[in-house]
Chains A and B, each alone.
Chain A
Amino acid sequence: MDFYVFLKYLAVMSLVTYLIRLIPMLLIKKQIKNKFIKSFLYYIPFSVLTVMTVPAVFYSTSSVISAVAAFAVAVALTFCGKKLVTVAVFSCIAVFAVETLMQFLA
């Protein structure tokens, strides 16, 4: 493909994505006072994160079994009050361990 043609596509794509993110951030700078909107915006991150995590987390590794292990480790460590990095790293290790074990058993 001609590189200049590619650049045209790239420019269009990047511009659309950027404007979607930028316009609201430039237009709505003042602190919102409305109680309903404030409450709505308070719940949005929790809801968005949950929707992105469930059920996708169970398909995020090469086997549902190792993904369940990652999920369990993440939940357990979070309940023990561990930091984000710790939780993420140990979940990855859990996946690696379970998949290595599965290869031995298979």
Chain B
Amino acid sequence: MKIKNAEFSSGLSAGLPICLGYLSVAFVFGIFAVESGLTPPEAILVSMFNLTSAGQFAAVPIIASLGPLTELILSQAVINMRYALMSVSLSQKFDSKINIFDRLLFAFCNTDEIFAVATSKKGTAGRSFMLGLIVLPYVGWTLGTVAGATAGNILPDQVISALGCAIYAMFIAIVLPEAKKSAPVRICVLISAILSCIFYFLPFLKGLSDGMRIIIVSVAVSIICAVIAPLKNDDKTEVCEVDK
């Protein structure tokens, strides 16, 4: 298996901000898991085998209280269903050399952030780029959990607080440049933000989990945008440039 160094390091550097964000989120998860009754090794195993923040936060209380397995399955299915959507989208972004073993690995690492960076990359995403991209976030997610589970109260609160915004700053840096260039993307972002707030703050709707809110709003908004502003065939921003 050949790895192109330039592609790999461009993946690495794209993964660095994700890693910083994961360190902080996983750190908080580590503290939370141990406080909920898991041992540090158990908390670390959960992180290493799942790589899903919202899902893990929902699962820990169920595991710690030895709740019903059906509840565990349902909660994971609902919260993580958005990944099915993202896997379809990411799958379209891969170049033709990506084989089934790559897919087995990249599917495991398909988080919101890795998906976002990979799909917003220009052109297609190859094996080397993807490998570079997933390394640091995985290490960050694991080490963050190790640190939180074993030494939760060493870092000063201010540092944890500051790290908390890293992921969102990165999202802004991904979305805004495209929104600046394209009016349909601007509309997409604007409607998404408004609907998200409505779902977040309105009574009844705010009972929905984050995972459900993300699925409902993004599917609705993307359908609307796809209907009112479909991509032109010669559009350079098209998802599938590879078949031309």
Q: Which residues of A are interface residues toward B (Cβ below 8 A)?
A: 1, 3, 5-6, 8-10, 12-14, 16-18, 20-26, 28-29, 31-33, 35-57, 60-63, 66-67, 70-71, 73-75, 77-79, 81-85, 87-93, 95-96, 99-100
Contact = CB atoms under 8 A, between A and B. Distances in A.
SS of B interface (majority): helix
A51 B222 CA distance: 12
B153 interface: no
B135 interface: no
Contacts of A40: 222-223, 225-226
A67 to B, nearest CB: 6
Size category, B interface: 35 or more
Contact of A96 (B17, B159, B174): B159
B140 to A, nearest CB: 12
A72 to B, nearest CB: 10
Interface string B181-200: 00011001100110111001
A45 B86 CA distance: 8
Interface string B85-124: 1111111100000001001101110101001110110000
Contacts of B89: 41, 44-45
A75 B176 contact: yes
Contacts, number: 307
A47 B188 contact: yes
Contacts of A41: 88-89, 92, 222, 239
Given A39-B230, A51-B213, A70 B168 contact: yes
B193 A54 contact: yes
Name, among A45, A73, A96, the residue most crowded by chain B CB atoms within 10 Å (CB to CB). Answer: A45
A85 B157 CA distance: 22
A39 B88 contact: no
Contacts of A62: 157-158, 161, 164
A26 B222 contact: no
Contacts of B92: 28, 31-32, 38, 41
B17 A61 contact: no
17 contacts: A9-B72, A18-B107, A20-B77, A35-B231, A41-B92, A42-B226, A46-B192, A50-B175, A51-B218, A53-B168, A70-B165, A74-B173, A78-B173, A79-B180, A85-B16, A87-B17, A92-B162
Interface in B1-39: 13-14, 16-17, 20-21, 37-38
Nearest to A97: B162
A32 B158 CA distance: 47
Interface string B150-171: 0000000111011111111111
A85 B91 CA distance: 25
A38 B189 CA distance: 18
Contacts of B157: 62
B237 interface: yes
A42 B241 CA distance: 12
A25 to B, nearest CB: 4
